[in-house]
Structure 1
Amino acid sequence: MPDTSRRRFLGGALGAAGLAAAGGAGFGVARATERTGSSAHAEAVPFYGAHQAGIATPAQDRLAFGAFDITSRDKTAVQTMLARWAAAAAQLTRGEPVGAVDISPHAPPIDTGEAVGLPASQLTITVGFGPTLFDDRFGLSRYRPAALADIPPLPGDTLDPNRSGGDLCVQACANDPQVAFHVIRNFARLARGTAVLRWSQLGFGRTSSTSTSQDTPRNLMGFKDGTNNIKAEDTRSFDEFVWVGAETDQDWMRGGSYLVARRIRMLIENWDTDFLLDQEQVFGRFKTSGAPLTGKSESDTVNLAAKDGEGKPVIDLNAHIRLAAPATNGGQKLLRRGYSYTDGIDPQTGLLDAGLFFIVFQKDPRTQFVPIQRRLGGHDLLNEYIRHTGSGLFAVPPGLAEAGDYFGKALFA
């Protein structure tokens, strides 16, 4: 424990023969929690629309995230895979399998079967393209958006390359962990021969409210974090901060967004030894109520100018709530859709490997995520208790219009 001071294109058709030949994915990820089967959370979220679901959609309870590397150098094969993914996604989000489980006793099932009988569970599937997709392999370099610039090294980064990057990403969110995991597993099968999983992450317990109908949840440090997150009902803020518009240099990205994922390990054992007052000063909020230190309830406006009786700022100059506030960052905002994670024990230290899988969507990471994180990484009191161990940046194209459309069709066209 560190010494610390304190702190191929087929129009989207899912051909049975093609899928049966896909074979097994050959990877495993343990379920983080038990399923939650509430009928209130079992309905389907529309797959087709102007924007991909899983961004403005109110955050579900569970996450399965996968980053893929493309192994084929055949552009048509990549298009075919994306068409299959799109057709599969349309079925999965309706609570249907990608194909028959019992098509033949002498052939592998088309669908792996673990989600048979389970409802749609508000499943959303969101697909993005990483910077490396725009190299010389597929002739896409001139279509790389300027906003998809590589994230520069940031203060405090201890990134593991095996948990970072990727040509493609798939974000599956649902209210049942098995439904979400089923997506990544079957997408890996559909990708066989064209792409392979680079890394994956399960998440549980959303850490932000993304709708006015949701309460703010708590992170693994016990604090309500992201109270002032952009809400789905605030369409003006989505247009200003999340959806790519006429300002883009690549028309195929209009109506899309940019996803940044960061695996942030929490040094939980260190945190658990810190006294309450100090924990609250680190966040700038009261632990129980979630209120800012300048207020009494969670929704109270944060008063960054407030001073105590000695003339000192009530909210520390390096408190997390101050450094992350739009007022400190030129008015910029991010849409947070992160989840808690736990990956067992660190074999080198015997300590818990748990924390926050931080996901944010924005219009341009160069002017939103990067400067905000640079400020946080350099000064945040929370840095004593966290380590950024993984990172990914992906351009998420707009939504699919109808059956036959596929992820990134305008890009490849």
Structure 2
Amino acid sequence: MTDEEQSSPPVEAGAVSNERTDAAGLSRRGLFGLAIGAGATGLVVGAGAGLVGGAAYGTAQARAVTDAVAPGAGIHQPGITTPVQDHLHFAAYDMMARTTRADLAELLSDWTYAATRMMQGLDVSATGAVGGSPEAPPDDTGEALGLPASNLTITFGFGPSLFDERFGLEAQKPEGLERLPAFVGDDLDPLRSDGDLCIQACADDPQVAVHAIRNLSRIAFGRATIRWSQLGFGRTSKTTAAQATPRNLFGYKDGTANILADDAAALDENVWVPASEGPAWLAGGSYLVARRIAMLIETWDRTRLAEQDRVVGRDKANGAPLSGGDEFAAPDFAAVGATGKPAIDPRSHVRLAHPDLNGGIRLLRRGYNFVDGTTDLGRLNAGLFFLSFQRSPDRYITVQRSLATDAMGEYLRHVGSGLWAVPPAPAAGTSIGAGLMGA
């Protein structure tokens, strides 16, 4: 918890039956979803940089979305190396029964159009929240009206279950894209795990992030339904040196050694899928792991400080490893403390998660804190919504298995899980996953 491309080709002619209302707008079915879906999904995203390029749209202080550059240049989706925003709304979806490959392609096209508009600070369609007929439901729910772009990014992923006989995608399934195996400490709720599709919406305003998922869910009406979703606040990682290292709900600095956006070599080695590994449609993409980790807050809060430090392997005050130095000092696992024992406990989180003990593997993390009220026992229903991007699923699996003896495991329960392939950003004029759907 504390430490650890290529543009897609156009869809082939005839692969998608869009019935577009204009050259780049929502399909009629997508607009029907906007009109009908508000009462059907029960959900509740807003505005930043375009899916295929540009800078954040909004206040003068809005930062550029650094991983969304000119289209056609082999770019990655925003929301991976983008400076981590303060809020998250994550949603997993299942395609509905009897939907076809054409339905899936049309949905991805509609989602791409709406996401690109919202990341520019626009409504999901040209008529939007207030520009349509007063006798019809608005195209946009309107709760983001008047709000700045808030650096919204929207990132799409495809789950293992999407690649079955329903859509004829079996031959395009990446070799490693399978449900994650069981790990020590798992107590997974199947209703809060997995999904055919996922959307990660991050923004500096929670209402902007919620607005995005709400509207994309309405657009999906009749084609896909929400399987589960998660709100997150207080990022638990950073992707730029300019960002201060945040703290998690245990009070410790989190993400000190995260991969940064300007470390191209580390990104190529650890995050982006090379053309030599996997199907062509995923080259330049990544794999996203989501883990809903319940933290036993009340138990932790009754633990003495020295024991907390031992479990984490870092100093709670400044984030420095217990072997000495400052927050960014490399942990010295051979260092001996005043008692003659290792300064950093062999079962500490920082040691077991460290790349030196995992074949050099590093994960790019974008996790968030969450508090979902209280449990039936009156305890905080809180924890870490862990998100990581990695070059292959086996890299995450290796690190997680290393944590089987983690002393922190006494205070954690993994209650939700999912894995998705994240394709590269679409080329100009195409949709997310166009390389997959056109194959």
- What are the equivalent positions in structure 2 for 1:95-244 lying under 5 Å apart? 95-99=121-125, 100-102=128-130, 103-244=132-273
Alignment of 1:66-105 (within 5 A): 66-71=91-96, 72-99=98-125, 100-102=128-130, 103-105=132-134
1:249/1:375 CA distance change after superposition, 3 Å? same
CA deviation map 1:103-122 (0-9, x unaligned): 01111100111111111111
Give the stretch that moved more between structures: 230-239 or 44-53: 44-53
Q: Which residue of 84, 97, 112 corresponds with 1:59?
A: 84
Q: Would you say the 8 A contact 1:13–1:83 is kept in 2? A: no
SS at match of 2:176: helix
Distance in structure 2 (CA, Å) of the matches to 1:387 and 1:41: 39
| 1:60-102 alpha-carbon deviations (Å, 9 max, x no partner) | 1110100000004211111111001000111000000102222
| Number of the residue aligned with 2:385 | 357
Once the two structures are TM-superposed, the CA of residue 310 in structure 1 deviates from its matched residue by 4.0
Q: Residues of 2 paired with 1:131 and 1:47: CA distance?
A: 29
Q: Please tell me whether residue 14 in structure 1 is matched to residue 25 in structure 2.
A: yes
Question: What residue number does 1:5 align with?
Answer: none
Q: How does 1:308-319 map to 2 (within 5 A)?
A: 308-319=337-348
| Shift, 1:189, TM fit | 0.6
Q: How far does residue 17 in structure 1 lie from its aligned partner after superposition?
A: 4.9
1:329 is aligned to 2:329? no
Identical residues among aligned pairs (%): 51
Does the 8 Å contact 1:320/1:381 carry over to 2?
yes
Within 2, Cα distance between the matches of 1:116 and 1:42?
17
* 1:34 corresponds to: none
Say which SS state the counterpart of residue 359 (structure 1) adopts: strand
Does residue 390 of the first structure (1) align with residue 416 of the second (2)? yes
Report SS of the residue matched to 1:193. coil
Question: Where do residues 251-400 of structure 1 align in structure 2 (5 Å cutoff)?
Answer: 251-347=280-376, 349-366=377-394, 368-376=395-403, 378-400=404-426
CA apart distance, 1:40: 6.0
Aligned residue type for 1:66: A
Q: CA deviation at 1:353?
A: 0.4
- The alignment partner of 1:146 has SS state of coil
| TM-score (norm. length: structure 2) | 0.87
> What's the CA shift for 1:307?
1.0
One-letter amino acid of the counterpart of residue 237, structure 1: A
CA distance in 2, matches of 1:382, 1:322: 11
- Displacement, 1:352? 0.5
TM-score, normalised to structure 1, is 0.92
Cα offset, 1:156, TM superposition: 1.1
Contact 2:93 2:195 in 1 (8 A): yes
| 2:105 aligned partner, one-letter code | Q
Structure 1 position 163, deviation (Å): 0.4
Shift of 1:311: 3.1
Q: 1:411 to 1:48 in 2, by over 3 A?
A: farther
* Consecutive unaligned residues in structure 2, runs of 5 or more: 1-15, 45-57
Task: State the Cα deviation string for residues 22-56 of structure 1 (Å, max 9, x = none).
Answer: 12153246xxxxxxxx9465456348641100001
User: What's the secondary structure of 2:79's corresponding residue?
Assistant: coil
Aligned-residue Cα RMSD (Å) equals 1.7
- Structure 1 distance, partners of 2:344, 2:406, is 12
Query: Residue 20 and residue 135 in structure 1: after superposition, are their counterparts in 2 closer, same or farther (change >3 A)?
Result: closer
Distance 1:220 1:282 in 2: 15
| Contact persistence 2:30–2:220 (CA under 8 A) | no
CA contact (8 A) 2:187 2:414 kept: yes
Query: Which amino acid in 2 is paired with 1:70?
Result: M
Q: 1:9 to 1:174 in 2, by over 3 A?
A: farther
2:355, 2:361 within 8 Å by CA — same for their partners in 1?
Answer: yes
| Contact 1:75–1:138 (8 Å) recurs in 2 | yes
Q: Report if aligned partners of 1:261, 1:358 keep a CA contact under 8 Å in 2.
A: yes
When residues 78 and 114 of structure 1 are mapped into structure 2, their CA distance, relative to the original with a 3 A threshold, is same
- CA drift of 1:226 comes to 1.8
Change (3 A) 1:47 1:122: farther
Residues 156-204 of structure 1 show CA distances to partners (whole Å, capped at 9, x for unaligned) of: 1000001001000000011011111111101111100000000000000
For structure 1, list consecutive stretches of 5 or more residues without a partner in the other structure. Answer: 1-7, 30-37
1:47/1:53 contact within 8 Å kept: no
State the 1:19 CA deviation. Answer: 4.0
Cα gap change, 1:363/1:9 in structure 2, threshold over 3 Å: closer, same or farther? farther
Q: Does the 8 Å CA contact 1:48/1:400 hold for their aligned counterparts?
A: no
Deviation readout 1:288-309 (Å, 9 max, x if unpaired) = 1111111231111111111124
Conserved? CA contact 1:334–1:362, under 8 Å:
yes
Q: 1:405: which partner in 2?
A: 430
Cα 1:48/1:148, change in 2 over 3 Å = farther
Cα 1:396–1:104 shift into 2, 3 Å = same
Residues 333-352 of structure 1 show CA distances to partners (whole Å, capped at 9, x for unaligned) of 100000001100112x2111
Contact 1:13 1:84 in 2 (8 A): no
